[in-house]
């Protein structure tokens, strides 16, 4: 069971395709693992073992008769509980929606089911993908598998925790100000926020329409690229969807990175905010490894981090309040305190401030993307600190805002969070690799080259 828990999507796919591994055996092992351990981590909001076994038996019948659908056939996955699965509740981890039954699959769910994936259940989130790790909601918050007393990041908290804990090889999350990349960094896994519009958001509870992304969390770079290959694509019914050719995200994996121009955006984590020393050292060690592999490293600069964060915050809070205004007027007591406080902030943003933020956003986006005339990818911090204790409200609030992820929701750029090692206390460290729009394959190429120089994908938390 332990070995099956740490199978990558790529390795599992080959074993399943060649009939060396039964989808049913694989699924039963992961169900048993979660049943044994998840009471300590709360990664699942709603585990669905019956659906998982039905999917696994179906996949096994199809594979046995030679009808293999591709590298996700028979592979388990989970969905952040703001993503619709037809016939099941989509609660957004909130009392407001605890009786909300999805009438159809989200587009991303459709694609995973069509690929033959095994649906394991709905995963914890921060309430409505905002707020934080709250203890006043109908379900408890997810915890960090590396140390359950610590925060696992958010808002795709269960997606990060379940992947890191070996309950799943892959999970779907969402990202409006960093909510895929934060749990990826806190839990030591890989998280991709692709270019705005690359992945359909139809069937996903919105937070802020112009900033929302659907993203992937996996334990390896290759698995993440495989997942993005599966879920990317144009959706005419999502007004933010990009009608551009997609796919081939694994095509550059294994190619060398000699001559790739890497820009290091240091002022985000050395001047604009002072990152924890271990975080900064992890980034510098990663940059040095890329240089040793032949990358050409230089330093780049853009607007101060706080300007990006203010722009993101103004747009996000305004758009989020527009989504929640009716419920906030009629049922404010049914929100948890953290989400209610964050959502109410949008009621006090003037229309002029919102409009000015959208204008500033365009200027900042254009200026940022001009940097790629001189570099191919940019590296910077993700979180400025390792995970803090989950029961320390002040520390959670302080560290939650100390991040460099929101700038790339403002610009819509693809941003990939990858591990850079561990702190002396055994908690994961991470960084981001950022690119120009629709350069995901290149980001994966650089991340994969770095990953191959480390053994972090072979290190796993010892669960309670």
Chain segment 126-172, per-residue pLDDT in tens: 999 998 999 999 999 999 999 999 999 999 999 999 999 999 999 99
Distance, CA of 254 to CA of 452 (rounded, Å):
9
- If you average pLDDT over every residue of the chain, what do you get? 97
- Domain assignment present for 464: no
Tens of pLDDT, residues 242-285: 998 778 999 999 999 999 999 999 999 999 999 999 999 999 99
* Whole-number pLDDT of residue 263: 98
87-to-102, 105, 110 alpha-carbon distances in Å: 5, 9, 13
| Average pLDDT estimate for 34-51 | 98
What CATH number does residue 242 fall under?
A: 3.90.1300.10
Number of residues written out for the chain = 464
| Average pLDDT estimate for 51-76 | 98
Q: Is 179 tagged catalytic?
A: yes
How many Cβ atoms sit within 10 Å of the Cβ of residue 104? 13
Catalytic option among 22, 156, 157, 179: 179
- Domain assignment present for 463: no
Distance from the first to the final alpha carbon of the chain: 16
Distance, CA of 183 to CA of 43 (rounded, Å):
12
How many Cβ atoms sit within 10 Å of the Cβ of residue 302? 20
β pairing state of 377-381 and 76-80: unpaired
How many Cβ atoms sit within 10 Å of the Cβ of residue 381? 30
Tokens matching residue 81: 């509980």
Identify whether the C-beta of residue 408 lies closer than 8 Å to the C-beta of residue 434. Answer: yes
Distance, CA of 96 to CA of 82 (rounded, Å):
12
Distance, CA of 67 to CA of 143 (rounded, Å):
39
Give which of 75, 22, 35 is closest to 52, Cα–Cα: 75
**3-state secondary structure at position 283:** helix
| Average pLDDT estimate for 395-418 | 97
β pairing state of 261-264 and 296-299: parallel
Asked if residue 344 has pLDDT above 60, the reply is yes
Query: Could you give the residue ranges of the DSSP H alpha helices within 210-276?
Result: 221-231, 267
* Whole-number pLDDT of residue 428: 98
Distance, CA of 378 to CA of 341 (rounded, Å):
34
Helix (H) or strand (E) holding 36: helix 23-37
**3-state secondary structure at position 449:** helix
DSSP letter for each residue of 349-402: --HHHHHHHHHHHHHHHHHHHHGGGT-SEEEEESBSS---BTT-HHHHHHHHT-
Asked if residue 230 has pLDDT above 70, the reply is yes
Asked if residue 1 has pLDDT above 70, the reply is no
Tens of pLDDT, residues 106-129: 999 999 999 999 999 999 999 999
Distance, CA of 127 to CA of 353 (rounded, Å):
26
User: Can you give the residue range of the structural domain that contains 217?
Assistant: 2-458
- Domain assignment present for 6: yes
Give the distance, in angstroms, between the CA of residue 248 and the centroid of all CA atoms in the same chain. Answer: 20
Q: How many domains does the chain have?
A: 1
Order of strands, sheet of 76-80, starting from the edge strand that comes earlier in the sequence? 44-47, 118-123, 76-80, 170-175, 213-218, 190-193, 415-422, 428-434, 377-381, 261-264, 296-299
Give which of 230, 234, 169 is closest to 201, Cα–Cα: 234
Q: Is 80 tagged catalytic?
A: yes
- Domain assignment present for 107: yes
* Whole-number pLDDT of residue 205: 98
Asked if residue 392 has pLDDT above 50, the reply is yes
Asked if residue 2 has pLDDT above 90, the reply is no
Catalytic option among 22, 124, 155, 423: 155
pTM: 0.97
Catalytic option among 80, 95, 122, 193: 80
* Whole-number pLDDT of residue 245: 78
Tokens matching residue 234: 């144009």
Tokens matching residue 110: 């459709």
* Whole-number pLDDT of residue 347: 97
Q: Is 103 tagged catalytic?
A: no
């Amino acid at each position: 069971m332990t070995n099956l828990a740490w199978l990558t999507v790529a390795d599992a796919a080959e074993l399943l395709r060649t009939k060396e591994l039964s989808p049913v055996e694989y699924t039963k092992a992961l169900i048993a693992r979660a049943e044994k351990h998840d009471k300590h981590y709360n990664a699942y909001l709603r585990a669905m073992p019956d659906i998982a076994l039905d999917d696994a038996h179906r996949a096994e019948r199809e594979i046995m008769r030679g009808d293999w659908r591709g590298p996700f056939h028979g592979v388990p996955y989970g969905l952040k509980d703001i993503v619709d699965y037809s016939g099941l509740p989509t609660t957004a981890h909130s009392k407001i929606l605890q009786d909300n039954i999805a009438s159809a699959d989200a587009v991303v769910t459709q694609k995973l089911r069509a690929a033959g994936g095994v649906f394991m259940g709905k995963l914890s989130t921060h309430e409505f993908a905002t707020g934080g790790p709250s203890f006043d909601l109908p379900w408890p918050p997810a915890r960090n598998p590396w140390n359950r007393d610590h925060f696992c990041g958010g808002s795709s908290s269960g997606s990060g925790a379940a992947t890191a804990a070996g309950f799943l090889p892959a999970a779907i999350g969402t990202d409006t100000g960093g909510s895929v990349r934060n749990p990826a960094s806190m839990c030591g896994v890989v998280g991709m926020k692709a270019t705005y519009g690359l992945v359909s958001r139809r069937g996903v509870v919105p937070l802020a329409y112009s900033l929302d992304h659907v993203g992937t969390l996996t334990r390896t770079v290759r698995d993440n690229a495989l997942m993005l290959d599966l879920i990317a694509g144009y959706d005419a019914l999502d007004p933010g969807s990009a009608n551009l050719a997609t796919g081939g995200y694994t095509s550059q994996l294994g190619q060398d990175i000699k001559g790739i121009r890497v820009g290091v955006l240091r002022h985000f984590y050395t001047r604009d905010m002072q990152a924890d020393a271990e975080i900064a050292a992890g980034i510098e060690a990663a940059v040095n490894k890329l240089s040793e592999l032949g990358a050409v490293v230089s330093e780049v600069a853009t607007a101060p981090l706080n300007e990006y964060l203010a722009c993101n915050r103004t747009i996000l809070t305004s758009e989020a309040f527009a989504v929640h205004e009716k419920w906030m007027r009629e049922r404010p007591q049914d929100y948890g305190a953290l989400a209610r406080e964050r959502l109410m902030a949008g009621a006090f943003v003037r229309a002029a401030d919102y409009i000015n933020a959208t204008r500033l956003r365009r200027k900042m986006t254009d200026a940022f993307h001009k940097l790629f005339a001189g570099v191919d990818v940019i590296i910077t911090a993700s979180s400025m600190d390792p995970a803090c204790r989950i029961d320390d409200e002040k520390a959670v609030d302080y560290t939650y805002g100390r991040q460099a992820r929101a700038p790339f929701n403002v610009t819509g750029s693809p941003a990939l969070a990858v591990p850079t090692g561990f702190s002396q206390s055994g908690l994961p460290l991470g960084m981001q690799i950022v690119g120009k729009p629709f350069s995901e394959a290149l980001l994966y190429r650089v991340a994969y080259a770095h990953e191959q120089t480390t053994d972090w994908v072979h290190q796993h938390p010892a669960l309670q």
